[in-house]
A and B are shown apart, each in its own frame.
Chain A
């Protein structure tokens, strides 16, 4: 006990720990404190500079609002039977959306809005890919999805896979889908309605929500290809 107290008294730079510090000791303590604070400031600035200058750690386009955990490995099938993975998509930014062809509302609305935004981007519109993943392989064959995405008059890569492959892709994007039975013995599907904007390295750069304004969505897409 005594040893501990002695050690503390010797090394503790904060004199208020002492019951009655002399004015000299207080001034000396404040000086030490000031030095330590400056040292702390130097450390923080230094660390900040390292974080900012290190290229690997810079979040794309300075958007730190989204976690790195969205996006990742997946393997799905294109309408022509080609296998498409996160690796094959690399090299070009892409906007990916999960849905199903029996979705009468959110899916056609979102796909046609994306086609519209791409049209408004001029030549920049070709600098990203639009990817539509059907989460309904029991109804949508790869060929069905190909014909469906053709309705929107702009190149859209339609993908699907086995239930396991779809689950893996949905998990990679932290997205959600759920089959819901209907009264007629059929089913509908609840699903995430957001569009994930992925950079050329397959990292999340932004999200376009279902209720995003055209102005905001367009700004996000321009940043994606910028």
Chain B
């Protein structure tokens, strides 16, 4: 009985110690570097915009294979004055778009999909239209992983997903 208790106590103290270790690590520079490799972005894409259209959405899959949660907190692109992180919610038949001022959390070991109708990156005050077929550079900033560079593949204005074929814009 006593032996069981002491084993349990040892286990508890290990967990507590691990917890104590984890906290400072998340803020230490070394941890940032370690976490950098944990964020992987696949299939980044955007929608074509017209001249005079001041904003465009960007979508992608963000995977965090690391052991600590990370957070997308901002970004920059040469084609936009500002990069914001937004979500969209339907409130009855009303669409409400909101900036995620605290960023978007990407939990450890999970993936977050940015897609139409949900989370997305907004390229605000576009300096030039996004042309279908072109690639647009975008640097995303993560709290832990730091800057991650991607190239957005510009699809048609009505595309619903990365690499979607034809038929969505009705050009034919």
Contact = CB atoms under 8 A, between A and B. Distances in A.
Interface in A206-226: 209-211
Interface of B: 47-57, 82, 84, 86, 88, 90-91, 93-99, 101, 116-117, 120, 122, 124, 156-160, 167-172
Interface in A136-177: 139-141, 143-144, 147-148, 150-154, 176
Interface string A100-115: 0111111011011101
Contacts of A210: 90, 93, 95
B50 A112 contact: no
Given A108-B47, A112-B168, A152-B157, A102 B101 contact: no
B156 A112 contact: yes
Contact of B93 (A102, A140, A184, A194): A194
A17 B94 CA distance: 56
Given A119-B172, A143-B52, A150-B50, A193 B158 contact: no
B84 A106 contact: no
A190 B50 contact: no
B157 A108 contact: yes
Interface string A109-131: 10111011011000000000000
A123 to B, nearest CB: 15
B168 A116 contact: yes
A189 B171 CA distance: 28
Given A109-B117, A190-B94, A104 B50 contact: no
Given A183-B101, A186-B124, A106 B167 contact: no
A192 B49 CA distance: 22
A100 to B, nearest CB: 9
| Residue among A105, A116, A180, A211 facing the most chain B CB atoms (10 A cut-off) | A105
A105 B170 contact: no
A115 to B, nearest CB: 3
Q: How large is the interface on A (under 10, 10 to 19, 20 to 34, 35 or more residues)?
A: 35 or more
B116 A105 contact: yes
Given A104-B57, A106-B95, A190-B96, A211 B90 contact: yes
A105 B117 contact: yes
Given A101-B52, A101-B53, A190-B97, 15 more contacts: A104-B57, A104-B97, A104-B120, A105-B117, A109-B117, A112-B159, A112-B168, A113-B158, A147-B51, A151-B157, A152-B158, A180-B97, A186-B124, A188-B98, A190-B94
Q: Ordered nearest first, which 4 A-B pairs have the shortest CB separation?
A: A112-B158, A104-B57, A115-B170, A144-B52
A193 B93 contact: yes
A217 to B, nearest CB: 14
Given A105-B95, A210-B93, A151 B55 contact: no
B169 A151 contact: yes
Contact of B170 (A102, A108, A152, A189): A152
A162 to B, nearest CB: 19
A108 B48 CA distance: 10
B50 A116 contact: no
A103 B54 CA distance: 9
Contacts of A186: 82, 124
Contact of A115 (B50, B97, B159, B169): B169
